[in-house]
């Protein structure tokens, strides 16, 4: 480790959809209001409030908007998406102009794009593709610039969304502000603001998630600071955008480490043999169970939740999402061969012959199922343990909704998203208290946070 920490103004931890836009916006790309016919038609009061505002929208009095019932995340959502479908660029009531940059360094432990790097190969988003875009770079513009041809209003497949996110640093000329494969291991108080310790985990780049049996990025238990070179930074402001999957959940049963048990699902080809037991019950498990079934596997789908709960989600989703319609069809057809076990808990996994034996408690009745593979799709949690030595800890509140969104969020001032407990620390995206609109809000905290930092730096 070098002795003198490198001093930066802002450090962003995490380069997913919540953290990545900071590289561009703090890199100087600021939003300005521009006329949008659809906004005028649908939100005339908003147009009245904004049309004479010729400065950057970062200088808006967000506290006043909040008092009028419009939190910053909603304000920018309305300006960006005044209607749900994309018809033309003119509907977006925002334009971005290049201003002076603020010194900002984004540290992320994998490629930019966050968890989308590790989702299944064929996974489709839950929402129209363009809901995943940043306002400063419409997906339709990206498609046009890269010669791709697809409908941005349709659900978008993993590779397209990841191509989009990977392209952002270069497109906005902020590559030098983005360090990929650098894992932050500790954030401590410092006279400059924060002391950030980070490990160079570029050795993880070539690791094979199939062999690893989990996505190829480090988790807290890997204690990478003991095995890889580390460096330190100081900064005045810290954006904490580490996402909801820093630490994957474990089942906590004997046998979980056996070689036929995996926490990584990309495609059925990685599952030779016939019998796959999928443990989970959320959207990732639903996707994997249906896809494995359609690839000819015999799937036992094991869930703790009740049938009523699971069918609540399926029925809510089967109208709009074709892969839920397919899952419903499979489960409704007894001859289809997928067995769903509700109210079920794994108690033990054992090696048996070429494969394994999974012991379960299904509503008080013991069962043993022979398998070739066990796939754990049981989610993960946000990791706040990196923050160490602060006089107050973050107050966390649990957030969940009917769409299976679940996270511990940190309490924030709702007009700036600054932590109420640690000054100048900003939980990004869904880690900020109150953010819940799951399919559109993950980068909604960007503008109010950037504005607060610029204001404190005297640059607004």
321/451 with CB nearer ligand FAD: 321
Q: Taking the complex as a whole, how short is the minimal distance between the CB of residue 17 and ligand FAD, in angstroms?
A: 4
- In the complex with ligand FAD, the residue whose CB is nearer, 65 or 264, is 264
Q: What is the 3-state secondary structure (H, E, C) of the chain?
A: CCCCCEEEEEEEECCCCCCHHHHHHHCCEEEEECCCHHHHHHCHHHHHHHCCCCCCHHHCCHHHHHHCCCCHHHHHHHHHCCCCCCCCHHHCCEEEEECCCCCEEEECCCCCCHHHHHCCCCCEEEEEHHHHCECCECHHHHHHHHCCCCCCCCEEEHHHHHHHHHHHHHHCCCHHHEECCEEEEEEEEECCEEEEEEEECHHHCCCCHHHHCCCCCCCHHHCHHHCCCEEEEEEEEEEECCCCCCEECCCCCCCCCCCCEECCCCCHHHCCCCEEEEEECCHHHHHHHHHHHHCCCEEEEEECCCHHHHHHHHHHHCCCCHHHHHHHHHHHCHHHCCEEECCEEEEEEEEECCEEEEEEEECCEEEEEEECEEEECCCEECCCCCECCCCCCCCEEEEECCCCCEEEEECECCCCCCECCCCCEEECHHHECCCCCCCCCCCCCHHHHHHHHHHHCCCC
Q: Which stretch binds ligand FAD (CB under 6 A): 41-49, 60-68, 95-103, 235-243?
A: 235-243
CA distances from 458 to 426, 428, 452 (A): 18, 22, 10
Footprint (CB under 6 A) of ligand FAD, residues 371-400: 386
Specify the residue, 295 or 439, whose C-beta has the smaller distance to ligand FAD: 439
Question: Does 217 participate in binding ligand FAD (rule CB under 6 A)?
Answer: yes
Determine which residue in the list 429, 432, 435, 447 makes contact with ligand FAD, applying CB under 6 A: 429
237 binds ligand FAD per the rule CB under 6 A: no
By CB under 6 A, is residue 246 in contact with ligand FAD?
yes
Among 5, 114, 129, 193, binds ligand FAD (CB under 6 A): 114
Which residue in the set 56, 234, 244, 409 belongs to the binding site for ligand FAD (CB under 6 A)? 244
Nearer to ligand FAD, 46 or 187 (CB): 187
In Å, how far from its chain's centre is CA 135?
17
125 binds ligand FAD (CB under 6 A): yes
Residue 12 in the binding site for ligand FAD (CB under 6 A): no
Stretch that binds ligand FAD, among 239-247, 258-266, 359-367, 413-421 (CB under 6 A): 239-247
402: tokens are 């009917």
| Other CB atoms within 10 Å distance of the CB of residue 196 | 25
Q: Which is nearer to ligand FAD, 291 or 372 (CB)?
A: 291
Q: Which residues contact 284 (CB under 8 A, 6 or more apart)?
A: 119, 120, 265, 377, 379
184 lies in the site for ligand FAD, by CB under 6 A: yes
Pick between residue 128 and residue 193 the one whose CB is nearest to ligand FAD: 128
Residues contacting ligand FAD: total by CB under 6 A: 36
Binding segment toward ligand FAD, per CB under 6 A, in 12-20, 66-74, 83-91, 408-416: 12-20
CA distance 25 to 17: 13
Q: What is the nearest approach in angstroms of ligand FAD to the Cβ of residue 266?
A: 12
Nearer to ligand FAD, 102 or 126 (CB): 126
Q: Looking at beta carbons only, is 29 or 240 nearer to ligand FAD?
A: 240
Considering only the stretches 31-39, 164-172, 343-351, 436-444, report the one whose residues sit in contact with ligand FAD under the rule CB under 6 A.
Answer: 436-444
**Given the complex with ligand FAD, which of 108 and 300 has the nearer CB atom?**
108
Cβ of residue 241: shortest distance to ligand FAD, in angstroms? 5
Q: Does 19 bind ligand FAD (CB under 6 A)?
A: yes
Non-local (6+) Cβ contacts of 249 within 8 A are 376, 378, 379, 380, 381
430 near ligand FAD (CB under 6 A):
yes
Q: Which tokens sit at 6?
A: 């490198």
Nearer to ligand FAD, 179 or 275 (CB): 179
Least separation in angstroms between CB 41 and ligand FAD: 26
- The yes or no reply on residue 412 touching ligand FAD (CB under 6 A) is no
- 187 touches ligand FAD by CB under 6 A: no
Between 416 and 445, whose beta carbon lies closer to ligand FAD?
445
Residues numbered 294 to 353 that lie near ligand FAD (CB under 6 A) are none
Enumerate binding residues for ligand FAD (CB under 6 A): 13-19, 107-110, 114-116, 119, 125-127, 132, 183-184, 217, 241-246, 283-284, 386, 429-430, 438-439, 442
């Amino acid at each position: 480790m070098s002795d003198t920490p490198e001093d930066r103004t802002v450090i962003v931890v995490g380069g997913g959809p919540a953290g990545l836009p900071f590289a561009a916006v703090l890199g100087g790309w600021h939003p300005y209001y521009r006329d949008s016919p659809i906004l005028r038609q649908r939100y005339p009061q908003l147009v009245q409030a904004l049309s004479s505002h010729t400065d950057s929208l970062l200088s808006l009095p967000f506290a006043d908007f909040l008092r009028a019932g419009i939190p910053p995340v909603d304000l920018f959502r309305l300006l960006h998406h005044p209607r749900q479908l994309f018809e033309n660029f003119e509907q977006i009531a925002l334009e971005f102009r290049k201003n002076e940059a603020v010194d900002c360094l984004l540290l992320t432990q994998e490629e930019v794009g966050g968890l989308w790097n590790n989702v299944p190969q064929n996974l489709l988003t839950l929402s129209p593709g363009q809901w995943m875009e940043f306002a400063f770079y419409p997906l339709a513009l990206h498609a046009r610039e890269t010669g791709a041809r697809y409908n941005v209003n349709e659900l978008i497949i993993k590779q397209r969304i990841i191509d989009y996110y990977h392209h952002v640093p270069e497109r906005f000329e902020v590559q030098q502000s983005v360090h990929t494969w650098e894992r932050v291991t500790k954030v401590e108080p410092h006279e400059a603001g924060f002391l950030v310790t980070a490990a160079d985990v570029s050795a993880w780049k070539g690791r094979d998630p199939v062999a690893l049996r989990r996505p190829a990025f480090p988790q807290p238990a890997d204690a990478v600071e003991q095995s890889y070179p580390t460096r330190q930074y100081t900064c005045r402001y810290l954006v904490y955008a580490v996402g909801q999957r820093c630490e994957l959940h474990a089942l906590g049963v004997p046998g979980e480490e056996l070689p036929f048990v995996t926490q990584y699902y990309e495609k059925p080809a990685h599952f030779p043999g016939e019998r796959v037991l999928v443990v989970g019950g959320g959207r990732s498990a639903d996707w994997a169970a249906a896809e494995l079934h359609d690839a000819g596997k015999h799937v036992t789908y094991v869930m703790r939740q009740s049938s009523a709960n699971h069918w609540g989600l399926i029925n809510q989703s089967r109208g709009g999402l074709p892969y839920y319609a397919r899952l419903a069809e499979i489960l409704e057809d007894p001859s289809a061969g997928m067995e769903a076990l509700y109210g079920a808990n794994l108690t033990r996994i054992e090696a048996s012959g070429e494969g394994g034996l999974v012991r379960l408690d299904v509503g008080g009745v013991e069962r043993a199922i022979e398998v070739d593979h066990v796939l754990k799709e049981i989610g993960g949690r946000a990791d706040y343990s990196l923050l160490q030595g602060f006089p107050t800890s973050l107050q966390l509140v649990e957030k969940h909704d009917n769409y299976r969104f679940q996270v511990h969020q940190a309490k924030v001032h709702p007009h700036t998203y600054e932590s109420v407990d640690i000054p100048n620390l900003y939980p990004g995206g869904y880690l900020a208290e109150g953010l819940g609109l799951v399919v559109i809000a993950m980068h909604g905290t960007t503008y109010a946070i950037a504005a607060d930092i610029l204001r404190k730096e005297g640059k607004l």
